[in-house]
Amino acid sequence: MSLAPRFGIEEEYFLTDLTTRQMLAEPGAELLSACREAIGEGFAYEMFQGQIEVASPVFTQASEAADFLGGVRERLNRVLAERGLGLLCAGSHPLARWREQHATRLPHFDQLFQEYRSVAQRSVLSGLHVHVEIPAGIDRMAVLNEVAPWLPLLLLLSCSSPYWEGMDSGFMSYRQVVCDGWPRMGIPEYFQNDSEYQRYLALLRRTGAIEDGGNGWWGIRPASRFPTLELRMTDACPRLADTVLLATLFRVMVAFAISSANPGAGYDATARWLLKENQWQAKRHGIEGRFVIDAGGEVISAEQWLEQLRSVLAPTAALIGEPGVYDAVQALLLSGNSARRQLDCHARAMAQGADAQRCLERVVDHLLQESRG
């Protein structure tokens, strides 16, 4: 068994008019065809016509991910710039209004809009999804239980959706607020092992709650089509370096769990209570949140939490060839996540006398620039 598990990344992008700074409602077949050609085999439609997704090939090291996604973003931006458009990669688009967006007319999306109505219609969101391969013979639910308590740390690093419908939402990840309206989203139910999880899915399929082959949409889940554990809670990241960093940190966490003698043994009802509270802190306050990681009730900062994580996972990071991951995460904590950078950009524009609309346009310009890289 390789010490360094293979992985893949899915990114989602908003197509944005460079003049109005608005998300496109109807990009048109010609534009989408050009985007598909620029991305290649990994192109996928999203729920709304003004969004697209790229699903990467399988990687063995972080540099491969950076090269591939960097090439995708470069080609897409070149195609879009020819049409006065740009690519915006963030959990939410600061100026998008969900009532104005047009659904993608495909059977799968039609079913989602019909079943989930306004919950689906409001989900003008972009996430970062990371798949990490789990070797045959290792229970993916046990690995999930080992990794799950760290989900809020991954979320707070990724927060990039403070603005919603042209307003400061008061959350660092308003995407998570919207996501929590869906069933089987956010914090996963507790399953001791994969057999218990499969019984749960079988029950939902028998009752018609999910379709055959369907799965939960939790912030972390065993993927249905691949032998992977999939991270889904994280917001899409404007800076490609942050995307690759979060994928690397998640990969280190999974590698640690895979190599553990009894992964998930310490995950119980109390750990899940704390996980839910820490997720709230992460989506509301981001890096400034206060977190509780054990039943003793001690409250720590994100930086203190990272130091504790470093002490546990540093040997694993070195073994899989990523010893610098913690220094990079520390730098991200010190400089601020995307949500903090957006809020700071807005504050600077306001201090310079810009009106409310212009302040938000500055934020969109900031995100477009970071997404170009």
* Rounded Cα distance, 85 and 88, in Å: 10
Q: Is the pLDDT of residue 151 over 90?
A: yes
Evaluate whether residue 350 is within a structural domain.
Answer: yes
Residue 54, strand partner residues: 11, 43
Q: What is the CATH number of the domain that holds 94?
A: 3.30.590.20
Evaluate whether residue 2 is within a structural domain.
Answer: no
* Rounded Cα distance, 195 and 220, in Å: 17
Q: HSE of 78 in the Cβ direction (CA atoms, 13 Å)?
A: 9
Enclosing domain of residue 273: 7-372
Residue 8, strand partner residues: 131
Residue 173, strand partner residues: 161
CA distances from 331 to 177, 325, 340 (A): 27, 10, 14
Averaged pLDDT for residues 33-56:
97
Q: What percentage of residues in the chain have a pLDDT greater than 90?
A: 94
Evaluate whether residue 199 is within a structural domain.
Answer: yes
pLDDT at 209: 87
DSSP code string of 309-341: HHHHHHHHHHHTT-TTHHHHHHHHHHH--HHHH
Evaluate whether residue 315 is within a structural domain.
Answer: yes
Amino acid identity, position 325:
V
* Per-residue pLDDT band at 2 (split at 50, 70, 90): low
Evaluate whether residue 301 is within a structural domain.
Answer: yes
Q: Read off the pTM.
A: 0.96
User: Going by C-beta distance under 8 Å and a sequence separation of 6 or more, which residues neighbour residue 344?
Assistant: 336
Evaluate whether residue 1 is within a structural domain.
Answer: no
* Per-residue pLDDT band at 165 (split at 50, 70, 90): very high
pLDDT in tens, 174-212: 999 999 999 999 999 999 999 999 999 999 999 988 887
Evaluate whether residue 187 is within a structural domain.
Answer: yes
User: Does an H or E element contain 15, and which?
Assistant: strand 7-17
Evaluate whether residue 357 is within a structural domain.
Answer: yes
Averaged pLDDT for residues 147-167:
98
Q: Is the pLDDT of residue 278 over 60?
A: yes
pLDDT in tens, 329-348: 999 999 999 999 999 999 99
Q: Give the total number of structural domains in the chain.
A: 1
Q: Is the dihedral of CA 163, 165, 166, 168 positive or negative?
A: negative
Contacts 24+ apart (CB under 8 A), 346-350: 346/168
